[in-house]
Structure 1
Amino acid sequence: MAEDKTLVSGVAGRYATALFDLALESGALDAVDADLSRFTALLSESDDLVRLVQSPVFDADEQLRAISAVLTKAGIGGLVGNFVKVAASNRRLFAVPGMIAAFRQLLAKHRGEVTAEVTSAEPLSETQTAALKEALKAQIGKDVTLSPNVDPALIGGLVVKVGSRMIDTSLRTKLNSLKIAMKEVG
């Protein structure tokens, strides 16, 4: 476990490591991951919830009451519910998204997976996602979890980041390279 702890650092890392250790000890890694995904989905759907999480205007008691109501309504309890409430009462609610990312890093390492950030111009289909996972697995030799992002400015193609390696096959980058080459010629 000591090697996993060096994977994440800072406030988010300490909270994530504590949650990971509790989830591992109680055999609830998958349940915690699912609840964290539900909480992340809530954040992506509600600007008001993001404001509550990020705003320093609300004091700890207000944040705790509000987030408790949100968690209850969403049916998120157990370790994740307590985790988010502890973060709120300690004035660390703003760091929960970072804590979730750090938890996912620990979980991926525990499972022997590698996370690849994939940015595409449009959402990838299930077939494209499966093909990309297989191609990356063949290249890296480990199971790959995709963290998809959409950026229409790419025009087409993909940008894939795995650890410190990046593969950029986006049309935007190719057009920029062509533009630079044309300037050098002229």
Structure 2
Amino acid sequence: MAEIVVNRYATALFEIAKEKGAMTKFKEEASAICEVLKNEPEYMNLLGHPSVIEAQKLELIEQAFTGRVSDEFVGLMGLIIKKSRTEYLIRILTQFIEMAKEDEGLIKATVTSAMPLTNQQLAQIKENLEQGTGKTIELDAQIDASLIGGLIVRVGDKVVDGSIKGQMDALKSQLNSLRLA
């Protein structure tokens, strides 16, 4: 249910940005709003708190964002408050940002390794992914010592597991499924 709600609002915002030809502006504003909301958890708690009446929440949104971001964002946040979906606000904005980046030809990818990769290795991975997808890659590097060795690369919803741990898990699964004759 949550994914449906997040996707519906993010898609609506994306369509509005597309219609107005303001995708870059909307993406920047969504990023700024996300930063504010993430850095001010008390503010988010106040917006979601059941004892704070809706009118006060709407006034808080108006005071904080009117004149600083597009009216569409103020309206969206007001609608989210009226529909009691405040807990989805950051996820909605984050999904919109990802949709806007993808529309610009930018895809987020994550490479996870057992040890830190050099800048040269990261640049090579990024170049290979860009050649393979035909899009610009925003690469995020993470470290997970439990992988033992190798890499896990995530591009959008696709995952390539070339880690030793992944290979060992696959082998374990195969061995567990063997039946002795």
Taking structure 2 as the reference length, what is the TM-score of the superposition?
0.66
In the alignment, the residues of structure 2 paired with residue 126 and residue 24 of structure 1 have an alpha-carbon distance, to the nearest angstrom, of 35
SS of equivalent to 2:21? coil
Task: Give the structure 1 partner of residue 93 of structure 2.
Answer: 100
RMSD: 3.9
Task: Give the structure 1 partner of residue 23 of structure 2.
Answer: 29
The alignment status of 1:43 with 2:37, answered yes or no, reads: yes
How many angstroms does 1:23 deviate by? 1.0
The alignment status of 1:59 with 2:53, answered yes or no, reads: yes
How many angstroms does 1:66 deviate by? 1.8
1:43–1:50 contact (8 Å) kept in structure 2: yes
Shift in CA distance, 126/71, structure 1 to aligned 2, threshold 3 Å:
farther
2:103 corresponds, among 107, 110, 117, to 110
1:60–1:91 contact (8 Å) kept in structure 2: no
SS of equivalent to 1:91? coil
How many angstroms does 1:107 deviate by? 2.1
Task: Give the structure 2 partner of residue 3 of structure 1.
Answer: none
The alignment status of 1:134 with 2:133, answered yes or no, reads: no
2:152–2:162 contact (8 Å) kept in structure 1: yes
Shift in CA distance, 169/89, structure 1 to aligned 2, threshold 3 Å:
same
In the alignment, the residues of structure 2 paired with residue 168 and residue 64 of structure 1 have an alpha-carbon distance, to the nearest angstrom, of 46
How many angstroms does 1:41 deviate by? 1.0
Size of the aligned set, in residue pairs, is 167
Taking structure 1 as the reference length, what is the TM-score of the superposition?
0.65
The alignment status of 1:166 with 2:159, answered yes or no, reads: yes
Q: For 1:59-78, what aligned pairs fall within 5 Å after superposition?
A: 59-72=53-66, 75-78=68-71
1:61–1:89 contact (8 Å) kept in structure 2: no
How many angstroms does 1:45 deviate by? 1.4
Task: Give the structure 1 partner of residue 137 of structure 2.
Answer: 144
1:11 corresponds, among 5, 10, 14, to 5
In the alignment, the residues of structure 2 paired with residue 50 and residue 33 of structure 1 have an alpha-carbon distance, to the nearest angstrom, of 20
In the alignment, the residues of structure 1 paired with residue 122 and residue 48 of structure 2 have an alpha-carbon distance, to the nearest angstrom, of 32
Q: Which structure has the greater CA radius of gyration?
A: 2
Uncovered stretches (5+) of structure 2, i.e. residues with no partner: 173-181
In the alignment, the residues of structure 2 paired with residue 80 and residue 126 of structure 1 have an alpha-carbon distance, to the nearest angstrom, of 38
Task: Give the structure 2 partner of residue 4 of structure 1.
Answer: none
Uncovered stretches (5+) of structure 1, i.e. residues with no partner: 1-8, 182-186
Give the aligned residue type for 2:88.
A
**CA displacement 1:126-148 (0-9 Å, x = unmatched):** 988765532321233322234x4
Identical residues among aligned pairs (%): 27
**CA displacement 1:37-92 (0-9 Å, x = unmatched):** 0011112212212323444443322321222222248x223322322222223322
Once the two structures are overlaid, the 10-residue window that deviates more, 78-87 or 15-24, is 78-87
Shift in CA distance, 128/79, structure 1 to aligned 2, threshold 3 Å:
farther
